[in-house]
């Protein structure tokens, strides 16, 4: 399929799913991307997941299995299904590869397993996780530019620590995930837990800096639930949040908090929400329990 044909094909992006398989299926059906039996029905459409398939919800491995099957089925129909690695995929892979290997935190140490359990790890997911699924996840990128949208998982500039271009960032991360070095994996997980870079007065400048380095005209991310940014009741979230002077779009509806599974067609056509008071634009990093590591990991 040529570049022009790809530009013409509809582009959809999915926010954090966190194991909520049935909600994901319903959201994809509402966009006519899958049928009642959860098979691809989107034709030439392009579908991107922004990461965080697992943890905090009942069937993370079911989400992985669905994404893998849709990747095959959509390609056969002339479309595509892709995903970005989120920090929860990196953590799950770390548990799968290294288990109880010690990793450093301020004042001591912990393990991949302990941090995973603290942050919504589901033993049923780990028991069902296969080598094939692990290899597939480890082969996914962490960033992409599609139709002028810079797709990333975390609302963070930490990606620039791994390269100055999309190709360098994805290549560096791929190298880390090929090496049996638990400390490199741990640092990658910690860096991709960072959040809130595009909030507040300096947020638009941080967003512009990331776009100037990696490309694209607008950042599209997940990771930080919209209710954490706005103070809204999760049940009232109905769509993505545009902020940072229109340079950033948040697709994490806070599904594990009671919010929706957001599937948006890009470019967005809905009006952009107004700028919120700065007091509401403070994110506390409360989603992740890293013990004494929080400040060191850059969560806040």
Contact 53/67 with Cβ under 8 angstroms? yes
Query: CA-based Rg of the chain, rounded to a whole angstrom?
Result: 18
Contact 222/50 with Cβ under 8 angstroms? yes
Q: What is the pLDDT of residues 93-109, one digit of tens each?
A: 999 999 999 988 777 78
Domain residue extents for the chain: 7-297
* Total-model pTM: 0.89
- Kindly give, in sequence order, each residue whose CB lies less than 8 Å from that of residue 132, ignoring residues fewer than 6 positions away: none
Q: How far apart are CA 184 and CA 287, in angstroms?
A: 22
Q: What are phi and psi of 108, to 5 degrees?
A: 165, -140
Contact 19/92 with Cβ under 8 angstroms? no
For residue 180, what pLDDT is reported? 85
Q: How far apart are CA 264 and CA 50, in angstroms?
A: 11
Task: Give the CA distances from residue 191 to residues 27, 90, 173, 176, in Å, rounded to whole numbers and listed in that order.
Answer: 30, 11, 12, 13
Q: How far apart are CA 110 and CA 127, in angstroms?
A: 21
CATH topology of domain 7-297: Purple Acid Phosphatase; chain A, domain 2 (3.60.21)
Q: Which residues of the chain have pLDDT under 70?
A: 1-7, 270-300
For residue 264, what pLDDT is reported? 98
For residue 129, what pLDDT is reported? 97
């Amino acid at each position: 399929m040529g570049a022009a044909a790809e530009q013409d094909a509809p582009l959809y992006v999915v926010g954090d799913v966190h194991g909520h398989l049935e909600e994901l299926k319903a959201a994809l059906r509402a966009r006519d991307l899958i049928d009642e039996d959860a098979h691809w029905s989107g034709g030439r459409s392009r579908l991107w997941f922004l990461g965080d398939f697992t943890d905090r919800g009942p069937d993370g491995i079911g989400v992985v299995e669905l994404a893998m099957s849709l990747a095959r089925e959509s390609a056969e129909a002339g479309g595509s299904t892709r995903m970005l690695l989120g920090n929860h995929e990196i953590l799950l892979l770390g548990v799968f590869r290294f288990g109880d290997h010690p990793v450093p935190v301020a004042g001591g140490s912990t393990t991949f397993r302990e941090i995973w359990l603290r942050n919504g790890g589901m033993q049923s997911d780990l028991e069902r996780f296969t080598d094939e699924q692990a290899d597939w996840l480890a082969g996914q990128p962490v960033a992409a530019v599609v139709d002028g949208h810079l797709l990333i998982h975390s609302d963070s500039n930490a990606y620039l620590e791994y390269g100055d271009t999309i190709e360098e960032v994805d290549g560096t991360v791929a190298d880390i995930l090929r090496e049996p070095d638990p400390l490199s994996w741990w640092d990658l997980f910690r860096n991709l837990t960072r959040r809130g870079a595009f909030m507040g007065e300096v947020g638009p400048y941080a967003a512009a800096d990331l776009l100037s380095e990696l490309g694209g005209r607008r950042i599209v991310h997940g990771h930080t639930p919209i209710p954490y940014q706005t103070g809204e009741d999760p049940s009232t979230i109905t769509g993505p949040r545009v902020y940072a002077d229109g340079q950033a779009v948040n697709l994490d509806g806070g599904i594990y908090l009671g919010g929706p599974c957001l599937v948006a067609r890009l470019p967005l056509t809905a009006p952009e929400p107004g700028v919120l008071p700065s007091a509401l634009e403070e994110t506390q990093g409360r989603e992740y329990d890293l013990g004494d590591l929080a400040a060191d990991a850059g969560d806040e």
